[in-house]
A and B are shown apart, each in its own frame.
Chain A
Amino acid sequence: MKRRSFLKTAAALPAFAAAGRLFAAPTAGPRFLLVFLRGGYDCANVLVPYASDFYYESRPNIAIARPDANVKDGALALDANWALAPALRGPIERLYLAKQAAFVPFAGTDDLSRSHFETQDSIERGEPADKRNYGSGFMARLAATLGARAAPIAFTDALPLTFRGAGDVPNISLRAVGKPAFDERQDAILASMYQDHHLHAAVADGLELRQQVAHEFEDAAQQAASRGAINARGFAVEATRIARLMRDEYRLGFVDVGGWDTHVNEGGARGQLAGNLDNLSRGLDAFASALGPEWNNTVVVVLSEFGRTFRENGNRGTDHGHGSVYWVLGGGIAGGRIAGQQVRVQASTLVQNRDYPVLNDYRAVLGGLFARLWGLDRDRIGQVFPRSAPADLRLV
């Protein structure tokens, strides 16, 4: 096992032994991974409102066909109103049937700017709309609230806004795992320069994490090298790595997946969006498998900054909209259902006659989930999502 050999090496290096924060990970307690789909994914072609004639009128070119055993590429019925995109046949369908997946439609923010950046930022901050503290994210506040139970990490190049403001949260992208710039001797020397410095733990952690990841994924890195870089579609590879780190060390994770801004040629049962969904679902499946039995102790939420226009545009795509569909996954969740407030899908219920409304505020939904997951009371949830009343969807 790679980890053991790494620990042995690390023990030989005094600087690492002195830091030791990475290995003080909690031994039990739930895990939470937030998967942010950047770009605003088209939820109406993922959780298909197949009972709505209006859906089929609105999307003459890109609608997904009604569930029908005789139709190839038809949607997969989940209940009398909703069906799953055929691109999610297999892993996600299986999880849903096993009650390990749920969907929350009409979810999102009260931000109507329809700007990717503004809405992503406001979700990552998780503050009330009138509060403008740009430097504090809700995952950071959750980590602070959970204290020793948190063990947070961002699987991204830069520390995302949602993890800012909580002191040292490690961040490292696992998209491509290359050789570290320094060997362990050099790491020890680098860390030694900071031995009496207040950044010592951060320096040692950063170098250690880099080595740890390289050791952990030595085989994968070699395979990748022989195939060239892991391409953007390889979320399964990345997700497997994330699972391996979260299984052993970390309890609170963040990762983002791009490419959802489908203004042109979005496709229906096949095409651009379907390809992205396939990539995403293989990744989530790989994540669940790699966790093994610990999947039962893990919750994943997949969300995006907004939904898209309910009607298709002139380019067989969709434009920036409002309400979205959030996914909740996990081995131990009360899934297999469509959760939260709902409304009939028709022209009169759209916001500004163009988008899904938001009936399930993301702060309330996530707050309710966190409350159950970690047994947090209203005050604690209020630290994470100030002035938000948690909505208990009984998903965990």
Chain B
Amino acid sequence: MSVLSMFLPTFRSAFLSAALILAAGIGHAGDGRLGRDDARWLERVTYGLDTATVARLREIGRKRFLEEQLAPLDETLPKSVQAQIDALDISKIPATKLVADEVEAQQRIRAMPDGEAKQQARKAREELGNEYAYQAMRRHLLRAVYSPAQLKEQMDWFWLNHFSVFARKAGVRWLAADYEERAIRPHALGNFRDLVMATLTHPAMLQYLDNAQNAVGHVNENYARELMELHTLGVDAGYTQTDVQELARVLTGVGIARPDAPARPAWRHEFVSDGLFAFYPARHDFGPKTLLGEKIRGHGFAEVEEAVDLLVSQPACARFVSRKIAEYFVADTPPPALVEAMARTFQSTHGNIAAVLRTMFESHEFEASLGGKFKDPMHYVVSSVRLAYDGKPIANERPLVNWLRGQGEMLFGHQSPDGYPLTETAWASSGQLSRRFEIARAIGSGTAGLFVPENGGPPGSGFPNLSNHLFFEAIQPYLSKATIVALDAAKSPQEWNAFLLASPEFNYR
């Protein structure tokens, strides 16, 4: 493997000479050279540096690079990575089939006599469901590391976290892959209202927040509350418990399609269904409602569309969503003026996510914040692998999943509906930092098992060479004296790699 090149005995002298070359001139991206802070800018717009991304920025400059990222045309993955994804069950079996099989299996299990065999059968199904959720994680990680559409991949994660579902609740594990693929990804850089509607009508969300059980006479407020508090308006937006109750009434009958329970003829004209989603008019409260002071006439599923329109057009929604995006990309406490500017764009474009991102990336507040945002475990793991293996396809994603589990940020693994926190304090405890350094060591020394295929096959060997051209061009200029002294004290290239990946500069973006 070429990127796993053996230790260059001259790495320290190469370090010095390249540093001299670099000092000779800093240019402007677009004219073939990187400009001031271009590399740090890239660390925000993408998951992290690799040679291809830096080359692209050098070639076309920030402005065009950003436009390419905001409306990606090229999402081509390396062939072998695409083949890995294509080989997953979740790529081959549609969610409708997974769910139908599960319903059938559970019926079969229920009919079994109580005892060991029944318990085993139940456990086997649960493990299969967990395997599908695991496959969704693998797919997500492969795309995050290798897709050229790096901003879209970050927004895919961001929205999955914003509209968080927990794989281990009820049947969500069977639906997690489809949820990402059909509800989140198509809208990651699209329109916020579409995103809300797509999550609102996806069975994963309907099951996770119990709206599948929400019916007239048996109102369940769980989803209605989170739809306002966590998805659109934010907790301090001024809505009341009555608003929650009224929205819950609007959402009665919004549930999961049951092939075995077709709509009654009398209701057929009101029935709405799409794949695994169904609106059951017989379970809907057709009375009039008042939401945020607006009257909503009882007329079936159209009420849901009206309510969502009302929510996403609130100034509070524009501010809440803008603030959270800025918290993810800019700072733990984003500058209020920036949030206001983003919120204005959100409102004037009726929730155009790419436009809101453009306002943010082009702001001077964004520029001023570069290098100051602590990487959450997802950013840390993905950026480490991107830098270390530089586009070279890994053969095993399990170590990545295990690192995220160990750091407490597994995809589909957050139990409560608020998603993972986006701030430094959640990820920089002393125990988390020392474990993070252990990840740095595993990657730096090549002992992580990323090239040992899960189902056997020839294991790869060696360790990455991080003391390379990319380092001298895009990382070294930003290192503190303390970090340079530390790197210089390394006794082996493996150790040097570990120190670089553990350095403060690499742990911030």
Contact = CB atoms under 8 A, between A and B. Distances in A.
A355 B61 CA distance: 66
A203 B418 contact: no
Interface in A170-210: 170-172, 181-182, 186, 189-190, 192-197, 199, 202-203, 205-207, 209-210
A189 to B, nearest CB: 5
A154 B408 CA distance: 14
B436 to A, nearest CB: 9
Contacts of A154: 431
Contacts of B504: 193-194, 197, 199
Contacts of B498: 186
Given A117-B415, A157-B406, A193 B499 contact: yes
B428 interface: yes
Interface stretch (B84-92, B199-207, B388-396, B480-488): B480-488
B429 A189 contact: no
B502 A121 contact: no
A264 B121 CA distance: 13
Interface in B151-198: 166, 168-169
Interface stretch (A161-169, A236-244, A292-300): A161-169
A226 B416 CA distance: 41
Contacts of A121: 415-416
A348 to B, nearest CB: 27
B429 A181 contact: no
Contacts of B126: none
Interface string B441-483: 1000000000000000000000000000000000000001011
Nearest to A158: B408
Interface core residue of B119, B229, B429, B504 (most chain A CB under 10 Å):
B429
A199 B428 contact: yes
A314 interface: yes
B408 A264 contact: no
Interface string B59-80: 0000000000000000000000
A210 B430 CA distance: 10
Contacts of A192: 482, 485-486
Interface string B395-439: 000000000001110000001101001000110111111110110
A interface SS class: loop
B114 interface: yes
Contacts of B229: 132
B489 interface: yes
B238 interface: no
Contacts of B435: 157, 206
A327 B239 CA distance: 42
A190 B437 contact: yes
B432 A159 contact: yes
Nearest to B229: A132
Contacts of B116: 264-265
Given A197-B504, A315-B119, A202 B499 contact: no
A313 to B, nearest CB: 8
Contacts of B166: 117
A259 interface: no
Contacts of B426: 135, 164
B293 interface: no
Contacts of A68: none
A118 interface: yes
A190 B114 contact: no
B114 A315 contact: yes
Contact of B430 (A195, A202, A264): A202
A169 B429 CA distance: 6
Given A199-B433, A206-B431, A134 B119 contact: no
B503 interface: yes
A278 to B, nearest CB: 23
A143 to B, nearest CB: 13
Contact of B434 (A164, A167, A206): A206
A297 B62 CA distance: 63
A233 B408 CA distance: 24
Nearest to B490: A189
A203 B416 contact: no
Contact of B437 (A115, A134, A158, A207): A207
B115 interface: yes
B486 A159 contact: no
B495 interface: yes
A193 B114 contact: no
B264 to A, nearest CB: 32
Given A118-B415, A168-B430, 15 more contacts: A117-B415, A134-B418, A135-B426, A157-B431, A167-B425, A170-B431, A171-B429, A181-B441, A182-B441, A189-B499, A194-B504, A199-B504, A202-B433, A315-B115, A315-B119
* Nearest 9 interchain pairs by C-beta: A206-B434, A206-B430, A171-B431, A158-B408, A117-B415, A205-B430, A181-B438, A314-B114, A206-B433
Interface of B: 114-116, 118-119, 166, 168-169, 229, 235, 406-408, 415-416, 418, 421, 425-426, 428-435, 437-438, 441, 480, 482-483, 485-486, 489-490, 495, 498-499, 502-504
Interface of A: 115, 117-118, 121, 132, 134-135, 154, 157-159, 164, 167-172, 181-182, 186, 189-190, 192-197, 199, 202-203, 205-207, 209-210, 263-265, 314-315
5 contacts: A171-B432, A190-B499, A193-B480, A207-B437, A315-B119
